[in-house]
Amino acid sequence: MSPTYDYEPGFGESVTARSNGITHPDPELLSAMTMAQRGAVCRYLARFAELDDAKILYAYTHVNDLVAREEARTGCFTAV
């Protein structure tokens, strides 16, 4: 039986699996993120025609930086 996660992917059902096991979207990692973080990761990776390991790793490990950049660009700031 496959595990269930507490998020609904808003970016499709496709999974890009890399040869070393890195995947996007990663349901386990995304379920632990806020909605803003999930959106930032998905928007960042959607910019690329093809994903490689470095882009996927960057997105998941720098999620807070991606959110901060988006907030600075849009002028939308949230209190934590």
pLDDT tens digits for range 16-74 = 555 556 677 778 888 889 999 999 998 999 999 888 889 999 999 999 999 999 888 88
> Does residue 34 sit within a domain?
yes
> Is 63 domain-assigned?
yes
pTM: 0.65
Give the domain range for residue 52: 25-74
- Give kind and range of the element (H or E) at residue 17: strand 16-17
Displacement of CA 7 from its chain's centroid (Å): 12
Number of folded domains that form the chain: 1
In a domain, 57, yes or no: yes
